[in-house]
Amino acid sequence: MTEAAARRRGRGGGGAARRAERTSIRIETAKYIERNIPNFEVLTEEALEVIETNAEIVLEEVGVNFVDNPAALERWRNAGADVTGERVRIPRGLARKLCSTAPSEFTQYARNRDKSVVIGGRNMVLAPVYGPPFVRDAAGGRRYATMADFEKFVKLAYMSKWLHHSGGTVCEPTDVPVNKRHLDMLMAHMTLSDKPFMGSVTEASRAQDSVDMCKILFGEDFVPENTVMTSLININSPMTFDDVMMGAMEVYAENNQACIISPFIVGGAMAPVSVAGTLTQVLAEVLAGVAYNQLVRPGAPAIFGAFVSSIDMNSGAPTFGTPEAALITYGAGQLARRLGLPYRSAGSFCGSKLPDAQAAYETANSLNMGLLSGVNFMLHSCGWLEGGLVADFEKFVMDADQLGVLHGLAKGVPVDENSQAMDAIREVGPGGHYLGCAHTQANFKSAFWKTELFDYKPFETWDEEGARDTRALATSRVDHLIANYQQPEMDPAIAEALAGYVARKKESMPDAFS
Amino acid sequence: MTEAAARRRGRGGGGAARRAERTSIRIETAKYIERNIPNFEVLTEEALEVIETNAEIVLEEVGVNFVDNPAALERWRNAGADVTGERVRIPRGLARKLCSTAPSEFTQYARNRDKSVVIGGRNMVLAPVYGPPFVRDAAGGRRYATMADFEKFVKLAYMSKWLHHSGGTVCEPTDVPVNKRHLDMLMAHMTLSDKPFMGSVTEASRAQDSVDMCKILFGEDFVPENTVMTSLININSPMTFDDVMMGAMEVYAENNQACIISPFIVGGAMAPVSVAGTLTQVLAEVLAGVAYNQLVRPGAPAIFGAFVSSIDMNSGAPTFGTPEAALITYGAGQLARRLGLPYRSAGSFCGSKLPDAQAAYETANSLNMGLLSGVNFMLHSCGWLEGGLVADFEKFVMDADQLGVLHGLAKGVPVDENSQAMDAIREVGPGGHYLGCAHTQANFKSAFWKTELFDYKPFETWDEEGARDTRALATSRVDHLIANYQQPEMDPAIAEALAGYVARKKESMPDAFS
């Protein structure tokens, strides 16, 4: 497909330029969100202190397990922890002290520097869904994801104005051997998009491949000094750090690349059923994880992660958009800020099997709480379906449209003279109409966020046009975006070098499918 | 249908009791929300002062119109306003001073005193959609609303746990003459439900009918001393108070009944396109409206209302769930609290024609902001569709289910010993599982909010059961609730007196349909 795109670009000259002008799609990427609104804080000072104290008690008295990882145990022992077998008990205050060397914000560079993002502070960076083995769309139904699906999602993310980040495993390309698919996924992010992306975490060697490919893309000298990947390191909650994830994290930390250290919690199963109890465990886990990250390389960028869902006590299924998950997300944001770490949480979470009303209620609940809880990096911000088993094409563009709402909300309320609009109120007066007044004419283009998807036509028009629901409108938008996709330029020497790396790596290993 | 219900109850004895036991529906009404979380505030102190100052300038220099209402003009003149024609210019500080006699919270009594609500403070009371001329459901499509639809909605509201209030014109019963339908609507709220309700505002005489019928229901002496109705008085924005709405408001104020004084704003049409400009106008309008309400009767309960939507600059249609509407809603909450008035805003707002994903995103955005902005009375909290033109049966139960999420969020984060769950964390330890631990067993029943509607079954089960979307699940729930509806008890003498009042009134007037 890289070739096909190259041919398309190669047709070149005036015809292509005219075609590009005619297209109704402008490939525009919004700057990451800079909040001009406060964070919503549900924990009182007293509650924060109780939870922070309890987390230290958990680390000291219960401890955490570092599995099959003697080097990690050695690092902990040297740092002053009490190591018995694989159990690491961390004296009060030690983990928090170790975390203090992690930066409170950092830049992740994109190959298109205009799309580099600053993660931390009052910013929020939005990245798409991560991890589903299945995809779904209206035409094809639910099916195993393939590399072609993956590439389609990368293109959609590239074309989506409100997405700042290309993400990582947008879906699992199950048609590519498991030990080689990370190479194709990285290649897709690097060549089909120019937004920042994530590295592989399924084995230390694959993290190393990610670093090596980034050295080709960004330059051998650039990578060790600058962050070009943010990768997802899940903690095996409760309080277990497995060698696979830690192996990948060690590679990234050694290379100054960012990691999200993220408890993966289904409340009631991997954490207590109470909000305060879950927050205690989340904090303990993140403290241990980030502390270990800093033991590997002090100053490496690390993000306080919290993936939280509740459990349906009848079926055992995870549930989304629930009040308990929201309270935990708000609370974890406060804990992250007090630790001085960037915060990752929330997303387009839902349990629904279809991109229907259930999916949208749950997703909107989660997106809103993500913005207000002070999330700095929102993975899964669009496309998530069925508890994360499915990446849905229609929902991807539906959610991506809603991300514009978050951008609008984050602007806050300016009160400069133009915003005060006193001339307009005087001009219009009682019983008048603002549509024609000078202030409206001067400001209407930028005044309101505008959907690219939803329908606000009169009922009769909508009915005549086929009475389409949101999913049907989204099908059209997916097709439209893909039809208008144009691959971003890349130095052919770099493209060739990347392709060569992938080819050599693939040849060096037999296929593995599990 | 009142008779039918009476017959059903009348079948009586052991059979009915057993049937009642077998039914899976318990008719349970949650207590109104008491927030244990902070309000979300987007306006800085500086912004608040700018807006408050500007609103006073608007009242003094631009003024407001009281149309076809000489008595109102006389009241304003006597209070110290500058009255020229129908234009009332209010000296700085006067309106705010007049507003100070309105209570910051009040009790609205229900005939079932367990369901009385306290409006104001940190509370939130939820009432259903108000005003649509059309209804929709999956079986019947979109059609003009009838009295049978109205009664069905009242029954659904009665059966909905998270609705505290029966509302008012849940839909417009277009098959009843316009000058008589308020009688049937009141009768339905009074006899089919025992939750609090709203009065008629479409003419002063209909407001008087509402008061008179309440005297039958609550007692001749009870009504003048106690609030038994909260009614919706819309301001004709910008800054116009028409005689119909004011006539109804005067009746309610004189009888100590509560009014929501509510600007009706489509931003860019009835108010400036900017957030700060709209807030200025909203505040000026509410100040004038509540001040007038207090001129009629100092101490009458009045609510600071704000109905806000943006405009689609292409079609002119109102839009919902937008960031600008959210910022206005958050800001208006702050202004209301500084005025010391209860606050009404937000709702299940959406522009979609169907109860689909668009509807749900927009609604969830609005419901969340309603809770966090400190709304005390949320009209339209379920069932709103198509910009308020349609009351949708499926969306009614979908939204009503989501109102449970707001109840859960409002609980905040307790940090008592049980909530801290330290014993659970110690018991389970690294790598363990919380499902079986003592703390989970003791707490799981109340730990998580539980949907009555959404599907969290495994994909295969869901697929075998017909792969139903949210709307299809909602159709079943509507049918289930209606099938299990049981009319609340009422003193037969009161029922008879109410029926007699309605019959006499209807006989006294020819039918009118416009």
pLDDT by residue (tens digit) across B133-152? Answer: 999 999 999 999 999 999 99
Q: Give the domain extent around B153.
A: 97-411
Q: Hey, what are A312's tokens?
A: 């349906």
Q: Determine contact, residues B52/B280, Cβ cutoff 8 Å.
A: no
Q: Do B425 and A50 touch (CB under 8 A)?
A: no
pLDDT surpasses 50 at B316: yes
List Cα–Cα distances, A226 to A299, B131, B157, B255, B262, in angstroms.
12, 59, 58, 71, 55
Amino acid at A437: C
pLDDT per residue over A69-97, tens digit each?
999 999 999 999 999 999 999 999 999 99
Q: Determine contact, residues B415/A280, Cβ cutoff 8 Å.
A: no
Number of domains in chain A: 1
CA–CA separation, A147 and B104 (whole Å): 61
In a domain, B34, yes or no: no
CA–CA separation, B238 and A2 (whole Å): 57
CA–CA separation, A35 and A118 (whole Å): 13
With beta carbons under 8 A apart, name residues in chain B contacting A278.
Answer: 421
Amino acid at B336: A
With beta carbons under 8 A apart, name residues in chain B contacting A275.
Answer: 413-414, 419
CA–CA separation, A513 and A494 (whole Å): 29
Confidence of residue A46 (pLDDT cuts 50, 70, 90): very high
Q: Do A447 and B273 touch (CB under 8 A)?
A: yes
Report the residue from B358, B395, B424 with minimal CB separation from A272. Answer: B424
CA–CA separation, A237 and B432 (whole Å): 8
pLDDT surpasses 60 at A16: no
Q: Do A276 and B360 touch (CB under 8 A)?
A: no
> Percentage of residues in chain A with pLDDT exceeding 70?
95
Residue A196 has what pLDDT? 98
CA–CA separation, A499 and A505 (whole Å): 10
Report the residue from A311, A369, A443 with minimal CB separation from B273. Answer: A443
Residue A5 has what pLDDT? 40
In a domain, A254, yes or no: yes
Confidence of residue A314 (pLDDT cuts 50, 70, 90): confident
Residue in chain B nearest A43 by alpha carbon: B413
User: What value does the mean pLDDT take over residues A265-290?
Assistant: 96
Q: Do B368 and A363 touch (CB under 8 A)?
A: no
With beta carbons under 8 A apart, name residues in chain B contacting A406.
Answer: 323
Q: Do A422 and B236 touch (CB under 8 A)?
A: no
With beta carbons under 8 A apart, name residues in chain A contacting B349.
Answer: none
In a domain, B25, yes or no: no
Strand, coil or helix: A80: coil
With beta carbons under 8 A apart, name residues in chain B contacting A50.
Answer: 415, 420
CA B396 from chain centre, in angstroms, equals 13
List Cα–Cα distances, A29 to A159, A415, B74, B323, in angstroms.
8, 27, 58, 19
Q: Do B413 and A275 touch (CB under 8 A)?
A: yes
- How many CB contacts within 8 angstroms connect chain A with chain B? 407
Strand partners, B307: B264
Residue in chain A nearest B410 by alpha carbon: A323
Determine what percent of chain B falls in helix, strand and coil, rounding each to the nearest 5. Answer: 50, 15, 40
pLDDT surpasses 50 at A124: yes
End-to-end alpha carbon distance in chain B:
27
pLDDT surpasses 90 at B64: yes
pLDDT surpasses 80 at A11: no
**Mutation to test the A interface, candidates B66, B265, B270, B358, most A Cβ within 10 Å:** B358
User: What value does the mean pLDDT take over residues A370-382?
Assistant: 98
User: What value does the mean pLDDT take over residues B294-312?
Assistant: 95
Q: For position B283, which CATH number holds?
A: 3.20.20.480
Residue B301 has what pLDDT? 98
Residue B18 has what pLDDT? 47
pLDDT surpasses 70 at B17: no
> Percentage of residues in chain B with pLDDT exceeding 90?
92
Q: Do B240 and A430 touch (CB under 8 A)?
A: yes
Q: Do B419 and A41 touch (CB under 8 A)?
A: no
Q: Do A277 and B455 touch (CB under 8 A)?
A: no
pLDDT per residue over B191-205, tens digit each?
999 999 999 999 999
Q: Hey, what are A49's tokens?
A: 């202190």
What is the phi-psi region of residue B239: left when phi exceeds 0, alpha when psi lies from -120 to 50, beta otherwise?
Answer: left
pLDDT per residue over B405-437, tens digit each?
999 999 999 999 999 999 999 999 999 999 999
With beta carbons under 8 A apart, name residues in chain A contacting B470.
Answer: 352, 354, 356-359
pLDDT surpasses 80 at B13: no
In a domain, A22, yes or no: no
In a domain, B62, yes or no: no
Report the residue from A268, A435, A455 with minimal CB separation from B352. Answer: A455
List Cα–Cα distances, A460 to A198, A454, A467, B473, in angstroms.
46, 16, 9, 27
In a domain, A58, yes or no: no
How far does B504 lie from chain A, in Å, by closest CA?
Answer: 39
B15-51 burial string, b = 16+ CB within 10 Å, else e?
eeeeeeeeeeeebebeebbebebebbbbbeeebbebb
Residue B26 has what pLDDT? 63
ipTM of this predicted complex?
A: 0.94
In a domain, A36, yes or no: no
CA–CA separation, B462 and B476 (whole Å): 15
List Cα–Cα distances, A180 to A169, A177, A231, A391, in angstroms.
13, 5, 18, 21
What is the phi-psi region of residue A396: left when phi exceeds 0, alpha when psi lies from -120 to 50, beta otherwise?
Answer: alpha
Strand, coil or helix: A242: coil
CA B322-B324-B328 angle, to 5 degrees, is 120
In a domain, B32, yes or no: no
CA A405-A407-A408 angle, to 5 degrees, is 65
Report the residue from A240, A272, A402 with minimal CB separation from B425. Answer: A272
